[in-house]
């Protein structure tokens, strides 16, 4: 169970600067690293926004700071932190699995910049890669996906879940679950946990919110069309305030005699905060369980007491269960190596590369189509790989559909599905 705490926009990395500096020196000094055994060498390209010159300058500022307080005021770019953390996790995996697969790792700093990414992709050696991992931003990731499709190179995309990155591309593996996967897993968790609930889908009438609300609505309508015991179901948007053909309010839809599942399909913090506040007083009169979106816990203004007392469920691909020996082993080794706790992106780098090494060792280079019926369980991520189909005969891309459903209980996160 994870402690529930607010995640800040900036991370303080001053105390681990020497370890990142070591990584940057390593990054500049070598472009290939080998993990031993059989004669096959797999070439892996890694395109991440290290922003070496800018990041190196930040390190100099930290090392020359007058005191720790001054050093802690220095902030790295968020993209650079993601890149460095992911790279640390990847290197930890490669070090631990050094007898598994022979890998030639090529590392490129693309600054999350489209023009820089395009120039990197012109390098002749890129066409000889077996796998390319990255990039982070949606626009640069699209360039990489297009390049890999044209050159028949498997692109592993751990960062952006956008469904519009690529299409008709069997060389694209989307590790970050799409928002559809989040919706589908939240829906399944409701079926499993609340078989006789009153379902209320509440949304602002904007493009993102309505699309999610309509997906939830269609899933429950489809369920009701086939199930003997049907859900009471209402979808209400804040513009029309009409549900099932009648003018109504959110308060009117809450049933005091049943468990009420309130699904709020909004990324907008003020809207969510206002909605949580308005239903908070209803909790004493009716059994309310709120379902929300993965961005909520990273917000700045949402009150944690509302989230906790409304028994909120939130979806997230990341969950580090420290009771598991595999996770504890990774944390211990990572901490000993880098003298810092792993971040979620360090877990991601470790799990993605461990997954790649295991898959290549078992199935070879063309492993992705072999994974349809299997699950990879990492230290904090799980990968259920399936083909996303454009039609019956055309693969759009491969995607990871695994998403955890986390319950907020006693101000801690508990995995419930």
pLDDT in tens, 95-104: 887 667 899 9
Kindly report, residue by residue over 319-354, the tens digit of the pLDDT: 999 999 999 999 999 999 999 999 999 999 999 999
pLDDT at 69: 85
Burial degree of 72 (CB within 10 A; 0-12, 13-18, 19+):
middle
Number of other CB atoms surrounding residue 104 within 10 Å: 18
pLDDT at 88: 96
> If you search the block for the tokens 């309310």, which residue do you land on?
288
pLDDT at 286: 82
Tokens of residue 322, six digits: 């420290």
C-alpha span between 322 and 330 (Å, rounded): 10
CB 117 within 8 A of CB 56: no
pLDDT at 297: 81
Q: What is the DSSP string of 272-286?
A: HHHHHHHHHGGGGTS
User: Looking at residues 248-255, what average pLDDT do you find?
Assistant: 94
C-alpha span between 97 and 353 (Å, rounded): 10
pLDDT at 17: 47
C-alpha span between 347 and 332 (Å, rounded): 13
| 28: pLDDT strictly greater than 70 | no
C-alpha span between 288 and 255 (Å, rounded): 9
Q: What is the dihedral of CA 21, 99, 144, 47, to 10 degrees?
A: 10
Order of strands across the sheet with 172-174? Answer: 102-109, 41-48, 131-133, 154-157, 172-174, 394-400, 382-391, 375-377
Query: What does each C-alpha distance from 275 to 153, 155, 232, 250 come to in angstroms?
Result: 46, 40, 21, 9
Kindly report, residue by residue over 206-247, the tens digit of the pLDDT: 888 999 999 999 999 999 999 999 999 999 999 889 999 999
For CATH 3.40.50.2300, the residue range(s) in the chain are 2-176+321-402
pLDDT at 108: 97
| 383: pLDDT strictly greater than 50 | yes
pLDDT at 25: 44
User: Looking at residues 378-387, what average pLDDT do you find?
Assistant: 97
pLDDT at 300: 80
- Higher pLDDT, residue 375 or 218: 218
pLDDT-based confidence at residue 50 (cuts at 50, 70, 90): very high
Tokens of residue 292, six digits: 């929300």
- List beta partners, residue 399: 174, 386
338: enclosing H helix or E strand: helix 325-338
- CA-nearest of 109, 89, 96, 132 to 345 is 89
C-alpha span between 129 and 136 (Å, rounded): 19
Rounded to 5°, angle at Cα 211 from 206 and 213: 95
Preceding amide of 135 cis, omega within 30 = yes
C-alpha span between 202 and 33 (Å, rounded): 51
Neighbouring residues of 235: CB distance < 8 A, sequence distance ≥ 6: 201, 203, 213, 214, 216, 217, 243
The whole model's pTM is what? 0.90
Rounded to 5°, angle at Cα 336 from 335 and 341: 10
- CA-nearest of 383, 382, 366, 361 to 97 is 361
Kindly report, residue by residue over 144-191, the tens digit of the pLDDT: 999 999 999 999 999 999 999 999 999 999 999 999 999 999 999 999
C-alpha span between 348 and 158 (Å, rounded): 8
pLDDT at 98: 64
Kindly report, residue by residue over 307-322, the tens digit of the pLDDT: 999 999 999 999 999 9
- Chain mean pLDDT for the chain: 89
C-alpha span between 384 and 117 (Å, rounded): 29
Tell me the percentage of the chain whose pLDDT exceeds 70. Answer: 90
CB 175 within 8 A of CB 400: yes
DSSP-based three-state secondary structure for 173: strand
Tell me the percentage of the chain whose pLDDT exceeds 90. Answer: 74
Kindly report, residue by residue over 1-10, the tens digit of the pLDDT: 555 543 333 3
pLDDT at 5: 46
> If you search the block for the tokens 């529930």, which residue do you land on?
4
pLDDT at 15: 39
pLDDT at 3: 52
Q: Where are the beta strands (DSSP E) in 238-279?
A: 242-243, 246-247, 259-264
Rounded to 5°, angle at Cα 277 from 272 and 279: 95
pLDDT at 97: 74
- The CATH number fitting domain 2-176+321-402, selected from 3.40.50.2300, 3.40.50.300, 3.30.70.1150, 3.40.1580.10: 3.40.50.2300
The CATH classification number of 180-316 equals 3.40.50
């Amino acid at each position: 169970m994870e402690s529930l705490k607010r995640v800040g926009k900036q991370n303080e990395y001053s105390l681990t600067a020497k370890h990142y500096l070591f990584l940057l020196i390593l990054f500049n000094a070598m472009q290939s690293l080998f993990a031993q055994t059989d004669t096959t060498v797999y070439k892996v390209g890694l395109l991440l926004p290290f922003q070496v010159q800018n990041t190196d300058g930040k390190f100099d500022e930290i090392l020359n700071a007058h005191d720790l307080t001054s050093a802690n005021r220095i902030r790295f770019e968020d993209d650079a932190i993601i890149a460095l953390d992911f790279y640390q996790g990847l290197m930890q995996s490669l070090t631990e699995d050094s007898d598994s697969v022979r890998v030639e790792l090529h590392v490129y700093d693309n600054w999350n910049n489209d023009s820089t990414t395009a120039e990197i992709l012109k390098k002749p050696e890129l066409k000889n890669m077996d796998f390319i991992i990255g990039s982070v931003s949606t626009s640069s990731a699209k360039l990489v996906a297009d390049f890999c499709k044209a050159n028949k190179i498997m692109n592993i995309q751990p960062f952006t879940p956008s469904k519009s990155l690529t299409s008709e591309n069997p060389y694209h593996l989307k590790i970050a679950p799409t928002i559809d996967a989040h919706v589908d897993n939240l829906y399944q968790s409701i079926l499993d946990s609340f078989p006789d609930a009153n379902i209320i889908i509440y949304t602002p009438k904007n493009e993102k919110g309505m699309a999610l609300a309509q997906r939830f609505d269609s899933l429950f309508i489809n369920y009701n069309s086939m199930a003997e015991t049907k859900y009471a179901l209402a979808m209400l948007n804040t513009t029309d305030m009409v549900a099932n053909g009648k003018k109504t309010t959110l308060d009117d839809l809450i049933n005091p005699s049943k468990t009420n599942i309130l699904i709020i399909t909004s990324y907008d913090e003020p809207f969510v905060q206002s909605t949580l506040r308005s239903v908070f007083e209803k909790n004493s009169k009716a059994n309310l369980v709120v379902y929300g979106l993965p961005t909520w816990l990273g917000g700045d203004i949402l009150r944690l007491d509302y989230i906790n007392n409304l028994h909120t469920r939130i979806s997230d691909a990341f969950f580090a269960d420290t009771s598991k020996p595999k996770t504890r082993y990774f944390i211990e080794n990572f901490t000993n190596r880098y003298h810092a706790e792993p971040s979620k992106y360090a877990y991601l780098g470790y799990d993605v590369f461990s997954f790649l090494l295991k898959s290549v060792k078992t199935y070879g280079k063309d492993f992705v189509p072999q994974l349809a019926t299997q699950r990879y369980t990492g230290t904090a991520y799980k990968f259920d790989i399936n083909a996303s189909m454009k039609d019956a005969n055309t693969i759009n891309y491969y995607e990871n559909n695994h998403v955890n459903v986390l319950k907020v209980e006693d101000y801690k996160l508990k995995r419930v599905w």
